[in-house]
Chains A and B, each alone.
Chain A
Amino acid sequence: MARNVSTQRKLVTTVLAWTIGILIFFPILWTFLTSFKTEAQAIASPPAFLFFDWTTENYFEVQSRSDYFKHFMNSVVVSFGSTLLGLLIAIPSAWAMAFSPTKRTKDVLMWMLSTKMMPPVGVLVPMYLIFRNTGLLDTRSGLVMVLTLINLPIIIWMLYTYFKEIPGEILEAARMDGASLAKEIIYVLTPMAIPGIASTLLLNIILAWNEAFWTLNLSAAKAAPLTAFIASYSSPEGLFYAKLSAASTMAIAPILILGWFSQKQLVRGLTFGAVK
């Protein structure tokens, strides 16, 4: 009897998990399907699900109109660059807060998080002026800097929680063996925290890849990443849903593939320390 209940429960949870999963994934699937329709089929009512004349013309149209590769490279540079730079700053600071906390550490952490609470548009004009005066407008390095800054609180917070799980005694032992601070962080702490660092890295690449406020507002022609590429296909006067879907599919495909291959790492990192 007991076994019966558990099979039933298993069935229910499986069905529930799949339903939720499909519900969440459905918009992406729909975008993908729409990208292979003609504009007329894209707005047809009732909509066609799978049985329509599949066409790749939207992809050719999108590619002929805008340089996908240029935007793609900008996205890669900006998201990887900002994440790596962020990690370089965040690892030492998370170390400091996790292993030698002071009575102000909690406040500092809270203060850092509070910078995320302001709507970014509130500082758009001052940021724009700083960027203009320093010649950073429409440059990749400018975007790397701003994305590093806005994601830094999250990186530090994530790393801080991972580092907290690592017993301080191990670091102490390394220190007693004569390891310098740099060696302690590089050879002892980092290898132990790899799952945590990896998931922080992946999550931040995804966040930076999808960031659409600063990347749109601080770039023009040269440094524009894929967010600008998508924005050029949306239109309030004209139905270009199929082309917009093709552009969106092209923009999310790389990060989706990266996410797919690293999902184990991501889940392990995110649940790191939860089960003891």
Chain B
Amino acid sequence: MNLRTFLLGTCSAVALAGLAQAETLTIATVNNGDMIRMQKLTDAFTSKNPDIQLEWVTLEENVLRQRVTTDIATKGGQYDIMTIGTYEVPIWAKQGWLLPLDNLGADYDVDDLLPAIRSGLTIDGKLYAAPFYGESSMVMYRKDLFEKAGLTMPEAPTWEFIADAARKITDKNNEIYGICLRGKAGWGENMAFLTATANAFGARWFDENWKPQFDQPEWKNALDFYVKLMNDAGPPGASSNGFNENLSLFQTGKCGMWIDATVAASFVTNPHESTVADKVGFALAPDTGLGKRGNWLWAWNLAIPAGSQKAEAAQKFIAWATGKDYLKLVAEKEGWANVPPGTRTSLYENPEYQKAAPFAKMTLDSINAADPKNPAVKPVPYVGVQFVAIPEFQGLGTAVGQVFSAALAGQMSVDQALASAQQLTTREMTKAGYIK
């Protein structure tokens, strides 16, 4: 390899006098604010590593997922670094599709990574992906509407309080809805929210023997509660609302509360985008007193496909992009509020960050409270808070999401939706060999 590189280098030096031989890393990534910002800052990396060039493939999340999954499953070798979620990491690592990141350098400080995030990326004691940004979910609420209704949001509210407050705030004549929640069908849309919420209600997807649990009273309580609350205090057409639709409703002042990803905090408090930027308060995701809060855990991570020819350069880049110095670089260029959140303990200990990001403490508490290995009140055989980390979940989650969305839209009753979810999940899990 070295000889080849040397010969190649010599040849090109002779043929194209002066043109340097560089290694090109192709990086597949999602279109979110933090990733786009990183692409703009990579000069800092390439100037220190002139032998490495970067090529970006930015795609919408669902397109990216399909694209990189096809590539890694067929060993296509199109990408040297892939941006993947916490859902993919354990599945892909077990398949042997990812390289363990064991060469991130002495000053990388792996122990500084937030334990909840790190644990979801570690399989058999090895780190298979490095977190670029992490998020949980929390309650965002309108302080002015709460004041007007004479309510005070506790730091750690219960679902009972949330439902009561939502109904009080709702003023349908003025298009103010007490609560906006996801209703659009999809494993990453309504099912992310409902699976996490169900955890707080004591429900779980499967028992220890992979038997689906939708026929249990906990699921009925959770879904019943959600549908009734949304009918009383939610916006019209909620069954087609996902993250973006709710973000738009909240930013235009139509929601009293919104429970969703912590990343939304930076959008709703941005005065350029949000009409309610100075009126937003934050609280932990609600619970029902059973010991689990319905807050999820997600991170976008950088990983290297197994069999990569450029693993060394790729690890170098990952160490740079997810390292401590990168956070400082962003702070220097764009301010502390724009630093990618949710990956490192040291960031949350930094007083400058605490000052610049009013949602910092809530984000950290929410992430720390999530436990992907013990997500539910009862024991479960799977990893994942708002998902079940098995390959079948994308299909299953979306199918169940469709019947739950139909229940919200009033096309079927809660009982019918649960029976249908139980039936289709049992069928799929039997077919996949989980249920003997």
Contact = CB atoms under 8 A, between A and B. Distances in A.
Interface of A: 38-40, 43-45, 65-66, 124-125, 128-129, 132, 137-138, 216-217, 220-222, 224, 228, 231-240
A238 B244 contact: yes
Nearest to B77: A132
B62 A238 contact: no
Contacts of B156: none
B251 interface: yes
B185 to A, nearest CB: 13
B79 interface: yes
**Top 5 A-B pairs, shortest CB-CB distance:** A232-B58, A234-B60, A221-B55, A220-B78, A43-B248
Interface string B148-190: 0000000000000000000000000000000000000000110
Interface of B is mostly: mixed
Contact of A138 (B31, B62, B73, B78): B78
B22 interface: no
Nearest to B248: A43
Q: Which of B63, B188, B263, B264 has the most C-beta atoms of chain A within 10 angstroms of its own C-beta?
A: B63
A235 B28 contact: no
10 contacts: A40-B272, A43-B251, A45-B252, A45-B254, A66-B58, A125-B73, A132-B74, A235-B244, A237-B264, A239-B273
B44 interface: no
Given A45-B252, A128-B76, A239-B267, A228 B59 contact: yes
B59 A237 contact: no
B43 to A, nearest CB: 14
A34 to B, nearest CB: 13
B279 interface: no
B103 interface: no
A228 B244 contact: no
Contact of B39 (A65, A128, A217): A65
A132 B55 CA distance: 20
Given A132-B75, A132-B77, A217-B70, A39 B273 contact: yes
A231 B66 contact: no
Contact of B33 (A216, A233, A238): A238
Given A39-B273, A65-B39, A216-B67, A236 B57 contact: no
Given A137-B76, A137-B78, 4 more contacts: A40-B275, A125-B70, A220-B78, A236-B242
Contacts of B244: 235-239
Contacts of A43: 248, 251-252
A67 to B, nearest CB: 10
Interface of B: 26, 28, 30-33, 36, 39-40, 55-63, 66-67, 70-71, 73-79, 188-189, 242-244, 247-248, 251-252, 254, 261, 263-264, 267, 272-275
A231 B28 contact: no
A239 to B, nearest CB: 6
Given A220-B26, A239-B267, A232 B247 contact: no
A38 B55 contact: no
Contacts of A124: 70
Contact of A236 (B188, B254, B272): B188
A192 to B, nearest CB: 44
B61 A237 contact: yes
Nearest to A132: B76
A257 B36 CA distance: 31
B248 A239 contact: yes
Contacts of A125: 70, 73-74
A235 B61 contact: yes
A235 B60 contact: yes
A236 B252 contact: no
Contacts of B273: 39-40, 239
Contact of A231 (B55, B59, B73, B267): B59
A147 B77 CA distance: 22
Contacts of A233: 31, 60
A15 to B, nearest CB: 32
Nearest to A240: B31
Nearest to B67: A217
Contacts of B55: 221-222
A221 B57 contact: yes
Contacts of B31: 232-235, 238, 240
A44 B252 contact: yes
A125 B75 CA distance: 11
Contacts of A137: 76, 78
Given A137-B78, A239-B248, A232 B59 contact: yes
Contacts of B56: 221
The residue in B251, B254, B275 that gathers the most chain A C-beta atoms within 10 A of its C-beta is B251
B251 A235 contact: no
Contacts of A222: 55
Contacts of A66: 58
